[in-house]
């Protein structure tokens, strides 16, 4: 009786939601080993993301796949449908602008599947480590924290990371995946041997440098436009046991960026002659210097801007680490001292702590738990991430850090350089056309605390000001985790890659079924012939 009621409810909901644009039996008779859910809680969750900036119409259903074949069956059904529906993969729901929310479609819940919790239905494979070959095969919805835990059992770890590990493998590989190791190892997309991908035609294909290479390069950094990553083979290296975590402060932007650029130029040196991680952040608000990104400055060693810069100006923090084993701990002091003496930070502003490697990598999650306990995590996040050419970073500092932002912000502002030669130009990822470029990440949270400068409206308007300044000043910045709403903006973003990008879309997702929330292509069943032609 309960099953019949649920089926009746599902049919009624589909008819009400999509009218005559979809035959309900196409979904209800899908036939998968996983679970196709119409549960209101599932549907509601899938209509939200970390950004909390947009609220899309609820999806038609949520698929909890038991295998890549489940996903292929769903996409193949969508591709062959006379009416059509879209399909979007969702990992941990950490997108900002509704990128994983489908228009008139189905969400594939890749991470945190109910199937794993229940244990009653066949579930996606757990990570499989190949210690001799130094790689690991992982499900596309696996979280990086679980990849780390699996590989550490063999004394190994992936080479390149993101700052936050509760993100899905497929999600970060669809963008790039960057952190302070990128100057040395490149982004995460530069550390992949092989992928299994479900294309927009419902084909399940294995791809690599040698096999289906066009699909391989298109999917990496491809914003989900060409396929859903169901398996990734990730490169590994021996994992260190401990990390020396160091922060030093600057009041001079030129000295700060010169030192950062010097440190990333050492990428070809041996391990003892370079740091393993290079990042940094900007301090425009004294309250932010002792925030979650810099918690070891306080409470025993609180830092005040006024004590370091009598003019109350902007400060810059260089954040670096040195990995080591317990057996080599006796040499770490000498190695660090040798590297630090070549830098030009403010004297007596060296802040150091030693911790386990896993604790360093998982540092942001610990801060997340604190913010959740205070109700400060599930709030709108109007984040803005930009790649800024090295030649324009001083202009950006003057116009944004010392200009538009004033002396108030509501979240960390990261800044660190990367080497372009560590990025594979054949991938879909877009970077500035200079040998060195910077990530500038304004990771602000909108708070309903009565302060205008913390409001969503204020921060969103400030983001618009920053983008307008970049255009007016000829900064030629590229958005990372890009968000655009017009065809012209996307063409400008991809630049000379656009024609190739469009060609790959026509080959692997000709009906524009996948990742419609990115707003790059309009699903063919929603667009007229005239509109489709205008995309050429």
- Enzyme catalytic residues: 94, 163, 279
Per-residue DSSP letters for 471-501? HHTT---EESS----SHHHHHHHHGGGHHHH
In this structure, are residues 406 and 288 in contact, taking their beta carbons and an 8 Å threshold? no
d(CA 189, CA 159): 11
| Secondary structure class of 449 (helix, strand, coil) | coil
Q: Which residue has the tokens 């670096």?
A: 320
CA-to-CA separations, 324 to 32, 82, 179, 381, in angstroms, rounded:
47, 59, 19, 35
Of 258, 232, 245, 37, the C-alpha closest to 142 is 232
In this structure, are residues 490 and 484 in contact, taking their beta carbons and an 8 Å threshold? yes
Of 324, 360, 89, the C-alpha closest to 228 is 89
Contacts of 10 (CB under 8 A, 6+ apart): 24, 28, 38, 61
Q: Where are the beta strands (DSSP E) in 383-521?
A: 384-389, 413-419, 436-442, 478-479
Give residue 510's region: left, alpha or beta (phi > 0; psi -120 to 50).
alpha
Per-residue DSSP letters for 330-373? HHHHHHHHHHHTT--PPTT--EEEEEEHHHHHTHHHHHHHHHHH
Classify residue 316 by burial, with Cβ atoms within 10 Å: 0-12, 13-18, 19+: buried
């Amino acid at each position: 009786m309960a099953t019949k009621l649920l089926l009746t409810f599902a049919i009624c909901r589909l008819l009400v939601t999509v009218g005559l644009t979809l035959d309900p039996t196409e979904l209800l008779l899908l036939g998968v080993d996983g679970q196709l859910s119409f549960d209101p809680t599932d549907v509601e969750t899938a209509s939200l993301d970390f950004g909390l900036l947009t609220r899309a119409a609820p999806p038609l259903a949520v698929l909890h796949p038991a295998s890549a074949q489940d996903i292929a069956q769903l996409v193949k059904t969508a591709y062959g449908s006379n009416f059509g529906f879209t399909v979007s993969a969702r990992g941990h729901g950490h997108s900002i602008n509704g990128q994983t929310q489908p228009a008139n479609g189905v969400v594939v819940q890749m991470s945190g599947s109910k199937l794993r919790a229940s244990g009653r239905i066949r579930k996606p494979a757990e990570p499989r480590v190949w210690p001799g070959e130094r790689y690991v095969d992982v499900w596309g919805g696996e979280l990086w924290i679980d990849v780390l835990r699996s590989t550490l059992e063999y004394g190994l770890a992936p080479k390149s990371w993101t700052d936050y590990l509760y993100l899905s493998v497929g999600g970060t590989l669809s963008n790039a995946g960057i952190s302070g190791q990128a100057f040395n190892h490149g982004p995460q997309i530069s550390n992949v041997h092989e992928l299994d991908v479900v294309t927009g035609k419902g084909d399940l294909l294995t791809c690599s440098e040698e096999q289906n290479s066009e699909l391989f390069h298109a999917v990496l950094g491809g914003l989900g436009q060409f396929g859903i990553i169901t398996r990734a083979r990730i490169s590994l290296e021996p994992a260190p046991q401990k990390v020396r975590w160091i922060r030093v402060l600057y009041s001079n932007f030129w000295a700060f960026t010169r030192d950062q650029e010097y440190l990333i130029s050492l990428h070809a040196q041996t391990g003892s002659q370079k740091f393993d991680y290079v990042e940094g952040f900007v301090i425009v608000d004294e309250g932010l210097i002792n925030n979650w990104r810099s918690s070891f400055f306080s409470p025993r060693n609180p830092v005040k801007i006024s004590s370091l810069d009598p003019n109350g100006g902007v400060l810059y923090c260089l954040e670096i680490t040195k990995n080591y084993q317990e057996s080599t701990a006796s040499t770490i002091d000498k190695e660090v001292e040798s590297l630090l003496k070549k830098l030009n930070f403010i004297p007596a502003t060296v802040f150091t702590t030693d911790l386990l490697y896993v604790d360093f990598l998982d540092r942001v999650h610990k801060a997340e738990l604190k913010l959740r306990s205070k109700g400060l995590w599930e709030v709108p996040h109007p984040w803005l991430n930009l790649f800024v050419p090295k030649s324009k970073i001083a202009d950006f500092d003057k116009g944004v850090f010392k200009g538009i932002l004033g002396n108030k912000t509501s979240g960390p502002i990261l800044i660190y350089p990367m080497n372009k030669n560590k990025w594979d130009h054949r991938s879909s990822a877009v970077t500035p056309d200079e040998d060195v470029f910077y990530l500038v990440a304004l990771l602000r949270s909108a708070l309903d605390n009565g302060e205008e400068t913390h409001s969503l409206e204020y921060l969103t308007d400030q983001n618009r000001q920053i983008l307008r300044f970049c255009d007016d000043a000829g900064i030629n910045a590229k958005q990372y985790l890009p968000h655009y709403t017009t065809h012209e903006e996307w063409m400008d973003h991809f630049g000379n890659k656009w024609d190739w990008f469009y060609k790959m879309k026509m080959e692997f997702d000709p009906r524009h079924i996948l990742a419609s929330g990115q707003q790059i292509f309009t699903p063919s069943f929603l667009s007229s012939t005239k509109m489709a032609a205008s995309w050429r």
